Structure 1
Amino acid sequence: MIIDAAAVPADRGALNRYVDGLVGALGRAGADLAVVCQRADAERYGRIAPSARIMPGPVAITNRAARLAWEQTSVPLLARQVGAQVIHAPHYSMPLRSGLPTVVTVHDVTWFTDPDVHSPDKAAFFRSATRTAARHARRVIVPSKATRDELVRVLAADPTCIDVAYHGVDQALFHRPSEVEKITVAARYGLHGRPYVAFLGALEPRKNVPNLIRGFASAVKHLDDPPALVIGGGVHEEDVDAACREVEATVKVVRPGYLSLSELAGFLGGAVVVAFPSRGEGFGLPVLEAMACGAPVLTTHRTSLPEVGGDAVAYTEPDAGSIAAALGQLLASAERRKQLSEAGLARAREFTWDASAEAHLLTYQRAVE
């Protein structure tokens, strides 16, 4: 099969970790694999899957129009060149006239269910791409049962053509950190031993960061020695800036922006709580990664998040008052946090990229058949 990884953005976010984890696991499984990618990513994919054929683009594909042109014309040609039986498009859009069975990953359907949490042009593009995938892909892969059910409900997609393949977690990258790792990260953010609540993710509306800031401020305002709130990720949204301006000067909010992969274990595992009060996710990889780092996690009951967290995380409604109450309870109980930490570690071990790759391989086989 050939995987078109040229759509993977440069921010090393959740989509990147999905494609990296999948490609590496397919390589370990001995799959006959080719990877189409951005020229700058060729060396990295070569390290991730040494047995795969890596096929970089001739130039940097830096904008959506250029990438779509590449997808529609060059990817089918490269697929035939390597004798691929299946094309896997891992990010919604697909080549329409490839002449080969095509599998598409649809990560979530919030473009339809919650359009207000996306920019209008982005929502319009991904709605169109999702409709196309539901109609024309030989099979569709989704990362959760919740996403499958929503795809069927919203687009009347054929459920017999949709396969669920849960994401995995890189246990080498996301692990319970050493004290040195935790101290190094905390010092980098100017905390110097001060405990902190962590958030990791894109600062987009559905991540609900403004309500997290307000809820956190309410939860800690009466504490003599309150923790800080560290918000890892970009881009800075106006609503996030406004929420930060609302809180009292005694409430410490740190915004380091994008974090390198090497510091994520120390960041997540060093937090007293990782809070991820999203309004909806296709999977919720930050929740799984935080559990793998031994962090107590607070998230919501929305969409796929209970599939990932199970009984190993604490839950809240997404409004600021509920977040304040749930976060306050966790901050007040070291025993509860320890319980969630151990439960999260155990549950995270159930999600592996090798299992995800096995599910993908079954989908590729079904597409050919």
Structure 2
Amino acid sequence: MTIFADRRWPNETGIGIVMRELEDRMPTNMKAVDLEVKGSIGSPFSPFAISRSLLGRGSKGVFFSAGFVPPLFCQLPSFVIVHDLTHRRFYGEAKRIYYDHIYKRLYRRSSGIACVSEFVRSEFLEWSGIAAEKVHLVYNGVSARFTEYGERHAPGYEYVFYSGNHRNYKNLDRLVRAYAASSLPSREIRLVLTGEHNHDLSRRAMEYGIGDKVVFTGIIPVEEMPAYYRGARAVTYMSSFEGFGLPTLEAFACGTPVITSNISSMPEVAGGAALLVDPYSVEKMAQGLDAITTNEELRHNLIAQGRKRKSDFDWDISAKLLWKLVRDCAKA
């Protein structure tokens, strides 16, 4: 069976990781063909670009995307993974309207859809009105490179670590404020964030007198990322919304305690193995940062529970289920 894949997501992104892990476990009787879709993933013309790339591909096979973009028209069965509905929540009115009037119709035409958490599946079903039997739960896994054993990032100071982009719903403004309100700066525990220097966050840090305590790493090569998790005193992932949140699992696998939010998918993924806080309360966030860096009994318990919890997310199991669903939609 030929799988015509939209592979536009960069390897270092969350969707890029999911795409690579699933394709690496594709059954031997399936063959992936890169559609080499042109144009930006986020363009409103992205569904059309996919359809144009499918022209002349014949009537046998399946269109598959590890991302969220369905084709505008497609004579093949199509299967996409929906990671969240953040675009219609946080990307402005135009994006919400586009989702509600265009994407919803395209999703309804899809042969099958996978959601990465029960939270996302429930929200997607309510929004889309698609029959429940067509929308499946397929959890993400944790990549094998994330283990407790190996090099630790050692910059010469202790730090708490945030891994992710700087979009508004990642709640980084409140994170910087909570860090400033905590005891961490006075204890010389720095806040390390992935990504290029963020002028708005730096200005906020300067206002609170912690400008030299907030560190931006730039883009970290994927092979070096586990060392940053292992070296951290704790991992912070206190977003205001997530569809899954791979960094939580990655931290569990590296033996690092996690503080995350008590809303959306984050409690589901944490499964009792992370410290949960209200991401809208700077005070609660600050208290959580203090607790997870000072309370040794709490830290020990979170690390132990994280080891157990990460075993519930296995790419081999997820890939086996995913490719079975893709195969089934081709037969329908």
TM-score, scaled to structure 1: 0.81
How far apart are 1:295 and its partner, in Å?
0.9
Q: What is the CA deviation profile of residues 300-348 of structure 1, one whole-angstrom value per residue up to 9, with x for unaligned ones?
A: 1221112211011110100211100111111121232122122212221
Whole-angstrom CA distance in 1 between matches of 2:44 and 2:197: 22
1:309 and 2:285 are equivalent in the alignment: no
Match in the other structure for 1:87: 63
**Conserved 8 A contact 2:48-2:72:** no
Q: Matched residues in 1 for 2:25 and 2:35: separation?
A: 17
Structure 1 Cα separation of the partners of residues 253 and 50 of structure 2: 35
Q: Partner of 1:100 in structure 2?
A: 76
1:265 deviates by 0.4
Residues 169 and 352 in structure 1, CA contact (< 8 A), matched pair in contact too: yes
Query: Aligned match of 1:215 in 173, 178, 186?
Result: 178
User: What are the residue-to-residue correspondences of 1:244-259 with 2, within 5 Å?
Assistant: 244-249=205-210, 252-259=213-220
Determine the C-alpha separation between the residues in 1 that align with 2:180 and 2:210.
Answer: 10
1:249 to 1:142, Cα distance in 2 relative to 1, 3 A: closer
2:191 is the alignment partner of 1:229: yes
The Cα shift of 1:76 comes to: 4.7
- Contact persistence 1:118–1:204 (CA under 8 A): no
1:132 aligns with 2:97: no
AA partner of residue 201 (structure 1)? G
Structure 2 CA distance for aligned equivalents of residues 94 and 107 of structure 1: 13
Residue 250 of structure 1 deviates from its aligned partner by 7.5
Structure 2 unpaired stretches of 5+: none
1:167 aligns with 2:140: yes
Paired position in structure 2 for 1:78: 57
> Per the alignment, do residues 278 and 237 of structure 1 end up closer, same or farther by CA in structure 2, a change over 3 Å counting?
farther
TM-score (norm 2): 0.89
Query: Following TM superposition, by how much is the alpha carbon of 1:72 offset from its aligned partner in structure 2, in angstroms?
Result: 1.0
Q: Which residue of 1 aligns with 2:22?
A: 22
**Superposed displacement of residue 102, structure 1:** 1.0
* 2:85 corresponds to: 109
Q: Please list, as runs of the form range in 1=range in 2, the aligned pairs for 1:244-283 lying within 5 A after superposition.
A: 244-249=205-210, 252-283=213-244
Is the CA contact (8 Å cut-off) linking 1:312 and 1:340 kept in structure 2? Answer: yes
* Correspondence for 1:154: 127
Shift of 1:140: 1.1
TM superposition shift of 1:68: 4.3
User: Does residue 32 in structure 1 map to residue 36 in structure 2?
Assistant: no
Alignment partner of 1:145 is 2:118: yes
CA distance in 1, matches of 2:8, 2:174: 31
Percent identity reads 25
Equivalent pair of 2:184/2:190 in contact (CA under 8 Å): no
1:202 corresponds to: 165
Contact 1:139 1:363 in 2 (8 A): yes
The 1:123–1:309 alpha-carbon spacing in structure 2 relative to 1, beyond 3 Å, is same
Are the equivalent residues in 2 in contact too, given 1:203–1:235 (CA < 8 A)?
A: no
| Residues 160, 236 of structure 2: 8 Å contact kept | yes
Q: 1:164 to 1:249 in 2, by over 3 A?
A: closer
Letter in 2 for 1:91: G
Does 325-334 or 308-317 show the bigger shift? 325-334
Cα deviation 1:261-309 (Å, max 9, x = unaligned): 1111010111101000011111111111111111100001221112211
CA offsets per residue over residues 229-268 of structure 1, 9 Å max, x none? 0011358373x34422322147611011221111110101
